[in-house]
Amino acid sequence: MKYSMTIIFVSFAVIFSSFKILKETPYTDANSSEPTLTTITVTSPTGGQDYCFKQQQTITWLTSGGTVSTVSIYLMQPDGQTINRTIASNISNNGSYLWNGFATGLGNYLIKISGTDDTTPTLVTGQTGTFTLKDCIKPDLNPQLSSITPLTRWRKRFEITISNIGTKVVQNPTIKIEIDRPGNLPTSNFTTTLNETIDINERVPFSKGIKMREPGNYTITTILDPNDLIDEVDETNNSHTISLDVPPVPELIVYISNGKRPPVGREREIRIVVKNVGTGETHPNASFQIRSYVKQKGVKHYDIPQLDMGETFTIKRKHKWGLSGTKSLNAKILYVGLEMDANNNFVESSFFVRLPHHDRYSLAPKVKCSTGETFRNWDGIEN
């Protein structure tokens, strides 16, 4: 048997000349994209608020990324896992629901909203922070200053309106007034219980007179239910504070002689002393006089100079009478400027003109003052 063999020689250069080595490029699928997530975000409540138990509240939320046709709303315990009650089940997802505020009791809760994406069977959930359901069926007391009426220059009447803006009647509330006086003067307090029943949305007036003799700034604070005996909707609106400046002003009083028993035909002195016991001087341009009356001797007017604090001015009249009997005297300050109290500017007294057989001495006080005070002599009155 004969064998034959043919050897073929192929040039590698020829083979490689028909191929090119291409650079590697990444593969891209034009139809692929990141999936869009559907989310529910609760916008109200957001957490941290107080809501009234069994009173309507609006729950609101936003849905983004996909379509969720229906949702269910749950009231959750603070752990966020335990359902307290179902607020609404499979309702239309319109972003808002009016909730009646019901729960098993007062306390802290969360709102959870759940639904299913219409395109994919994916559960979508949104949840709030913790909020509080509290009892709002309570009174709510609120004081407001309505007016300040001057009674005298140093005494004012404060009119206060007490309102019940809550949802429950309140009986016999307590009111406290604190007066912070100027300088180092002590703070004074006044507390009383009102014999009042204040209905819902009712207003009750209360008035208090306050002495403000010393010049300077006064701070008056009205506090309702100061001992926290009434459970209220809002415990932070029970006080009202005002500040009032009292300028320095004079206080003019007048003294007059009294109780003398001169004999008929014997001259006697009638002394009248004006004193400024206030906190400021009299106005330099204000008209300032004393009107002095003596029975059977008539009326005289005397100009008074400007008086600083503590200063006095003395007037002396001398008279004698030809007939016995009681002789009335009086003196009145005529001042057109401001005073602490213009109601103590008048004083009256009397002498008794005696016959020889009458007693020479009287036990009556020798000085009378427009303040109602009496004195045995003039010591310490004049300066």
Q: Where along the chain do its domains lie?
A: 39-134, 141-246, 252-375
- For residue 329, pLDDT over 80 is answered with yes
Report the CATH number of the 141-246 domain: 2.60.40.10
pLDDT at residue 152 in the model: 74
- For residue 163, pLDDT over 50 is answered with yes
Q: 58 - beta bridge partners?
A: 98
pLDDT at residue 290 in the model: 96
The CATH number of domain 252-375, selected from 2.60.40.10, 3.50.50.60, 2.160.10.10, 3.40.50.620: 2.60.40.10
Look up residue 197 and give its two tokens: 């029943």
pLDDT tens digits for 108-121? 999 999 999 999 88
Q: Measuring CA to CA, which residue among 280, 297, 299 is closest to residue 289?
A: 299
pLDDT tens digits for 364-378? 999 999 999 999 999
Look up residue 4 and give its two tokens: 């034959």
Same topology for domains 141-246 and 252-375, yes or no? yes
Pairing of strands 325-335, 346-353: antiparallel
Whole-model pTM: value is 0.52
Look up residue 310 and give its two tokens: 């503590």
Which of 14 and 187 is assigned the larger pLDDT? 187
Which of 145 and 30 is assigned the larger pLDDT? 145
* Alpha carbons 290 and 302: distance in angstroms, whole number: 5
Which of 172 and 6 is assigned the larger pLDDT? 172
pLDDT tens digits for 75-103? 999 999 999 999 999 999 999 999 998 89
- Measured from the Cβ of residue 221, the count of other Cβ atoms closer than 10 Å reads 17
Architecture of domain 39-134: Sandwich (2.60)
- For residue 14, pLDDT over 90 is answered with no
* Alpha carbons 383 and 380: distance in angstroms, whole number: 7
pLDDT tens digits for 105-151? 999 999 999 999 999 888 999 999 999 998 888 899 999 998 998 88
pLDDT at residue 257 in the model: 97
